[in-house]
């Protein structure tokens, strides 16, 4: 064996001549040999230095060889030791081997044993190398086991280690936290199946699924399965299991509680279905185009407008090719589309109108409103304005009026609120008609409410009337334009005090009614009526578009269960409020709130009761703060209140919340314990050196400290 340093040997021998002879012979073969003449000197040298091999003669002064071995063994692990005995001392040799020596040599009178020393040394050193390697391997294996179990013990997911005979060897704390079971409760797989799946039919279904997955255990993919588990406390949770089979036949199964995630997914599916229904029933064509240019969705109205189904136009490229077969016009459309897309940010829209060739070969003028969403997908609405455009073209001879109306259509398409649409429509009506007074009313429930009147009427002339009342109601119900050339012979629709002689009453789609009156008789021609109907058609389309967009926006920023704002809204508005606070040097306060014992409410009274509690808490929180303050469902049973421009009113707000919670408990006696909230708060000012995230974390920490105190109090009551 190659060694970087000489082998050091301690030779304990009371014969000095023989000892020097051994020292000389071994020295020639590369060994370094120290000599001790008796047992005491040998022990002293061994203690003071380090040796690779020790030779001990049995017959020594002071301590014999066996005594020396016993003393050295009592002080720690022995190096390779070789006992030298005389002929007939086999018992001594056996005793030495029991004490831990590696080998023994019998002295012969002729000294032949001296020739054996180098081979014996190599032999014991090789044996020691094997022993050391085995010990190191065992130590490494033990470290790996300790690391493995340490990781499992601290893991954020549940874990159970199962022997190949079905015995459960280990369960980590998170497993118990999720299911309530300990190793004592479920020592074997059979015990687990009986406890976690008490229903025989479902248990058999789970067992069959496990057998199926076990048969696939050599596949190079991670198996994931979800089952409904009955926990030790009787509650039911949706648990995701991920089994891993080890080389020694054992299996480690990781598990995670996905109950809340499943509920969130179900809620999301509900929101998606609601969104889907809204889009499916939209009067506008709608498509969603993925980042790669593939059509992911088109609604029925899209197909109704163009004739194309999704399989006809799987990609935007094929859409452009079919919708714009003329290459020159197609290039113009694509260039305009690309230019507009570069100029718009996420969530913004740059509308445009193009002439589209439909599947049946007909051509339609379509108003496009593309919006790039945060996902990178493109949400596009399509409005068929062919009839309006053709009517516009047919009336182009009307000169300035029609040009103004065309411009109004563009202005209406760019409006961002219904109020803006109302005023743009009235302003446009003043340009294309000649009248003394006009009003624009919109249906709200069963009433038609005047939104704009020009000139502005006296207080007693501002109208709100039933959809079944007067000429206004008639116009709305039958959807037809009425022209009274002599108003005294018709219905007095505007005011009993009016002196108007002619009137036109026209529907705004199915949304409301526009009326104009003149002090001149027969003031409205057929051409005026056609222009007004075109204007109101654009107006109705603009209002519907804005309502659709507002409904989609509201769904995006509100929590579907409580009606409060959600985390998405918080992320958008918080940065704006921080900038405003810094600009005007106003302080802000944050209150984190958590419903105590909410899990117990769900487990004992069901999730419907839990949802009802969350809704009622949301209402009382909204009532307890100012309209300008922000209340957010932060997640699960946690709420966040942001108090804007506050100067230390936290205690009074907490009292109001406590009072409203008390009123809630007085009227709601369905549970045998009251609803309580844990509240943590913290304030932030523009000069504060801490970030808002740190302030929110402080409020969150205080809330959990209060929650711990509350839980400790409840446990004390339960134990009393």
Is 628 exposed, middle or buried (CB count within 10 Å of its CB: 0-12, 13-18, 19+)? exposed
Strands ordered across the beta sheet of 378-384: 295-298, 285-289, 378-384, 363-372, 352-357
Judge whether 680 and 706 are in contact, CB under 8 Å: yes
* Positions of the chain with pLDDT under 50: 1, 218-220, 458-461, 490-497, 715-720
Q: Tokens standing for 420?
A: 């803006």
**Residue 678 pLDDT:** 93
> 248-277 burial string, b = 16+ CB within 10 Å, else e?
eebbbbbbbbebeeebeeeeeeeeeeeeee
What stretch of H or E contains 421?
A: helix 418-432
Reading the block at residue 542, the tokens are 């603009």
Q: What strand order describes the sheet that includes 482-484? A: 464-466, 447-454, 437-444, 512-518, 502-508, 482-484
Residue 233: per-residue pLDDT = 94
Q: Which two tokens stand for residue 370?
A: 């593309």
Please answer whether residues 495 and 477 qualify as being in contact, where contact means their C-beta atoms are separated by less than 8 angstroms.
no
Q: What is the distance, to the nearest Å, from the Cα of residue 621 to the centroid of all Cα atoms in its chain?
A: 25
Delineate the domains of the chain, giving CATH numbers in brackets: 8-134 (3.40.50.2300), 155-257 (3.30.450.20), 268-361 (3.30.450.20), 390-551 (3.30.450.40), 560-719 (3.30.70.270)
Question: What is residue 497's predicted lDDT score, i.e. its pLDDT?
Answer: 41
Looking at residue 4, its pLDDT comes to 60
Q: Are 699 and 638 spatial neighbours (Cβ–Cβ below 8 Å)?
A: no
CA-CA-CA-CA dihedral for 322, 327, 332, 337, to nearest 10: 30
Task: Specify the pLDDT at position 448.
Answer: 92
Helix %, strand %, coil % of the chain (to 5) = 50, 20, 30
* Helix runs in 216-281, H state only: 259-280
């Amino acid at each position: 064996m190659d060694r970087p340093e000489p082998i050091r040997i301690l030779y304990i021998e009371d014969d000095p001549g023989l000892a020097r002879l051994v020292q000389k012979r071994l020295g020639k073969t590369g060994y370094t040999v120290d000599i001790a003449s008796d047992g005491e000197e040998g022990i002293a040298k061994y203690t003071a230095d380090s040796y690779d091999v020790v030779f001990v003669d049995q017959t020594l002064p002071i301590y014999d060889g066996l005594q020396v071995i016993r003393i050295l063994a009592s002080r720690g692990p022995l190096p390779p030791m070789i006992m030298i005995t005389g002929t007939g001392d086999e018992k001594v040799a056996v005793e030495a081997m029991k004490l831990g020596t590696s080998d023994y040599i019998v002295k012969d009178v002729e000294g032949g044993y001296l020739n054996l020393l180098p081979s014996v040394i190599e032999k014991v050193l090789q044996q020691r190398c094997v022993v050391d390697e085995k010990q190191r391997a065992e130590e490494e294996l033990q470290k790996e086991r300790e690391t493995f179990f340490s990781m499992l013990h601290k893991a954020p997911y549940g874990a159970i280690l199962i022997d190949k005979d079905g015995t459960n060897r280990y369960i980590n704390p998170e497993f118990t936290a999720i299911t309530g079971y300990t190793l004592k409760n479920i020592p074997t797989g059979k015990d687990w199946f009986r406890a976690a799946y008490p229903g025989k039919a479902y248990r058999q279904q789970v067992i069959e699924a496990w057998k199926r997955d076990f048969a696939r255990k050599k596949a190079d993919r991670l198996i994931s399965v979800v089952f409904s588990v009955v926990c030790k406390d009787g509650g039911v949770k949706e648990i995701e299991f991920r089994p891993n089979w080890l080389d020694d036949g054992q299996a480690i199964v990781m598990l995670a509680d996905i109950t809340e995630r499943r509920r969130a997914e179900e809620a999301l599916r509900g929101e998606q279905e609601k969104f889907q229904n809204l889009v499916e029933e939209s009067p506008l064509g709608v498509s969603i185009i993925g980042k790669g240019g593939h059509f992911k969705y088109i609604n029925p109205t899209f197909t109704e407008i163009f004739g194309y189904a999704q399989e006809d136009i799987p990609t935007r490229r094929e859409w452009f090719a079919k919708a714009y077969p003329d290459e020159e016009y197609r290039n113009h459309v694509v260039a305009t589309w690309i230019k507009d897309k570069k100029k718009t940010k996420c969530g913004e829209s740059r509308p445009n109108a193009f002439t589209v060739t439909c599947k049946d070969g007909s051509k339609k003028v379509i108003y496009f409103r593309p919006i790039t969403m945060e996902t990178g997908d493109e949400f596009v609405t399509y409005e068929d304005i062919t009839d309006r455009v053709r009517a516009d073209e047919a009336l182009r001879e009307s000169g300035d009026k029609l040009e103004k109306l065309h411009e109004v259509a563009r202005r209406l398409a760019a409006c961002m609120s219904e109020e803006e649409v109302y005023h743009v429509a009235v302003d446009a009506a003043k340009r294309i008609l000649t009248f003394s007074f006009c009003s624009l009313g919109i249906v709200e429930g069963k009433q038609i409410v005047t939104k704009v009147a020009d000139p502005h009427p006296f207080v007693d002339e501002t109208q709100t009337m039933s959809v079944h009342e007067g000429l206004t109601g008639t116009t709305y119900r039958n959807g037809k334009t009425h022209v009274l050339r002599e108003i005294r012979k018709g219905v007095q629709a505007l005011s009993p005090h009016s002196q108007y002689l002619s009137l036109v009453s026209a529907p705004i789609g199915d949304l409301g009614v526009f009326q104009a009156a003149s002090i001149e008789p027969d003031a409205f021609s057929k051409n005026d009526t056609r222009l007004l109907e075109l204007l109101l058609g654009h107006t109705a389309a603009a209002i519907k578009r804005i309502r659709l967009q507002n409904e989609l926006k509201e769904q995006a920023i509100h929590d579907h269960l409580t009606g409060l704002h959600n985390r998405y809204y918080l992320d958008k508005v918080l940065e704006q409020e921080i900038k405003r606070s810094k600009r005007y040097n106003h302080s802000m306060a944050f209150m984190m709130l958590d419903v105590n014992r909410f899990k117990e409410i769900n487990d004992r009274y069901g999730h419907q009761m839990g949802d009802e509690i969350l809704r009622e808490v949301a209402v009382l929180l909204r009532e307890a703060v100012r309209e300008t303050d922000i209340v957010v469902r932060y997640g699960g049973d946690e709420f966040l209140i942001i108090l804007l421009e506050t100067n230390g009113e936290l205690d009074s707000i907490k009292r109001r919340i406590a009072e409203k919670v008390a009123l809630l408990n007085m009227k709601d006696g369905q549970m045998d314990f009251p609803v309580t909230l844990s509240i943590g708060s913290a304030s932030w000012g523009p000069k504060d050196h801490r970030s808002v995230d740190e302030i929110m974390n402080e409020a969150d920490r205080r809330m959990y400290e209060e929650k711990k105190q509350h839980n400790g109090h409840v446990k004390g009551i339960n134990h009393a």
